[in-house]
Structure 1
Amino acid sequence: MTELFTAQNTALLLIDHQIGTMKLIKTLPLDMVIRNTIALAKTAKILNIPVILTSSQEENMQGPLIPELATLLPEAFAQRIKRAGIVNAWVDDNFRAAVKATGRKNLVMAGVTTDVCLVYPAISAVNDGHNVQAVIDASGSPYDISEEMSRRRMESAGVVMTATNTLMAELAQNWSSFEGSQLLQVLFQEVLPAIA
C-alpha cells in the first residue's frame, strides 16, 4: 500500500466496540482503547469521512455499542449493521454492501477484539482489493499471544498496522488548516491527555 489515505478516499469501519466485548481487552488499558475509538469517530466527523459501525448480538453478553458512538455519529449509529453472529463482518452481505456504498477503496479499521473481530475482515477486505490500515491502539485482545499472532497474520496478508495519532496526522496532512487545528485538539484531548 503506497497510496496516502485522505479524507476524500477513506472510510472508517468500527467493528464491535460493544460494552460487553470491550471487557475482554487485556492487552491495552481499556480507557485508552475507548479514548482512541472516540478520537477516530471525532476525526471522521471533522473530516466528513464515511463511517460504518457494526455490532454482533447486542442483545447478548456483547451488549450495545459504546454510547459515545451514538452521540458522536448518530446517523452511522442508527444505520449500524447488526450481525446475528457472523464472526467475520466482511462476509455479512449488509456490512459489505454498506462499505461498497461509500465508494472508498481505502479502509481504516478498528475492532474489538483484534484476534476475532478485526483480523478476519481486515484480511478479507485486502483480498477484495482494498487498502486497509488497522488501528491497533483502538483494538485489543484478551491475551498477548492472540494479539501478536493476529497482528502477524494481518501484516503478512498486506494489512498495514497503525496507531491513532499516526493515522490522524496522515488524514490531517496540515495541522494549520481549519480541520487540522480541530484534529489537533482531539489529539490532545483524547489520544494524548497525559501530555496536554
Structure 2
Amino acid sequence: MPLQMLLPADTAVLLIDHQVGTMSWVGSTDREVMKANALALAKAAKALDMPLVLTSSLEDNAQGPLAEEFARIAPEEFAGRVRRSGVVNAMDDPDFADAVTATGRRTLVIAGVTNDVCTVYPTLTAVEKGYTAYVVADAGGSTSKIADDIALRQMERAGAVITSTNMVLTGLARDWSSPAGQALIPVVGELIPV
C-alpha cells in the first residue's frame, strides 16, 4: 500500500506499552528520541481531535507504569488506558479491541514501544481485520537492529505502511496554512533538533 496523506477524520492513534520499564528494553534506537516521537503522536491526536487509545501491560511488574507525560498530554485517555494483564497481542485483549472498534475509524496509526513484540502482532491482526495500518517505526524500537528490521519487513509484507513520526505529522497537516497544519506546527517544531 503506498503512503498517502492521512485524513484526521478517518484516523485513530494507538500507542502500545510506552512504559518506563519496557522503554529500557529497546536497543535498536535512541530511547529518548523514540519516547519523544510517541509523545508527539499523542499530542497530534489531541491537537486534531483524533481518537487516541493508550494501553499498557502489567504496570506493577518489570514493565513499569505508562510514561507519565501521557497523563499531561491526554489526561482522559491516560486515565482510561487499557491495562492488559499480560496478553502479548494487544488486539487479543477484548477491552483494547473494543476500544479500537469504538473509535469508528478504519485508518490506524500504530506505535508500540517494541516493534518486534508490542507493534507487530496487533498490526498484523488489524490488517487482517481490514484496517489500514500505518506503523510509526521511529516511535518504537526493538531489542536489536536485526529484530527491528525483521518486524518492520513482516508488517510491510502483510500490507501495513511503514512510516515515521514526521511523515505522519506532515501527512496529517497536508497544508501548513490549514487549521490542521497550524495545530501541528508546534508539535513538529518540538521534534526538530536544535
1:8 counterpart SS class? helix
**2:119 maps to which residue?**
118
Asked whether the 8 Å contact 2:115–2:151 carries over to 1, the reply is yes
**1:46 maps to which residue?**
47
**1:97 maps to which residue?**
98
The one-letter code matched in structure 2 to 1:193 is: P
Deviation, 1:30, is: 0.8
Deviation, 1:179, is: 3.1
Answering whether residue 6 of structure 2 is matched by residue 5 of structure 1, we say: yes
Deviation, 1:177, is: 1.9
The one-letter code matched in structure 1 to 2:118 is: C
Residues 7-35 of structure 1, C-alpha deviation per residue, up to 9 Å, x if partnerless? 10000000000000000111111110111
Answering whether residue 26 of structure 2 is matched by residue 25 of structure 1, we say: yes
Deviation, 1:4, is: 4.2
The one-letter code matched in structure 1 to 2:192 is: L
Unpaired runs of at least 5, structure 2: none
**2:88 maps to which residue?**
87
**2:38 maps to which residue?**
37
Residues 36-72 of structure 1, C-alpha deviation per residue, up to 9 Å, x if partnerless? 1111111111100000000000000100110111110
Aligned equivalents of 1:181 and 1:93: distance in 2? 36
Deviation, 1:182, is: 2.8
Aligned equivalents of 2:182 and 2:27: distance in 1? 33
Aligned equivalents of 1:79 and 1:85: distance in 2? 17
2:135 counterpart SS class? strand
TM-score, normalised to structure 2, is: 0.96
RMSD: 1.1
The one-letter code matched in structure 2 to 1:165 is: N
Residues 109-136 of structure 1, C-alpha deviation per residue, up to 9 Å, x if partnerless? 0001111000000010000000000000
TM-score, normalised to structure 1, is: 0.95
The one-letter code matched in structure 2 to 1:95 is: F
The count of corresponding residues between Structure 1 and Structure 2 is 193
The one-letter code matched in structure 1 to 2:104 is: G
The one-letter code matched in structure 1 to 2:137 is: I
2:8 counterpart SS class? coil
Deviation, 1:174, is: 1.1
Asked whether the 8 Å contact 2:112–2:139 carries over to 1, the reply is yes
Unpaired runs of at least 5, structure 1: none
Deviation, 1:178, is: 3.1
The one-letter code matched in structure 2 to 1:79 is: G
Q: Which aligned segments of 4 or more residues in structure 1 are displaced greater than 3 angstroms? A: 1-4
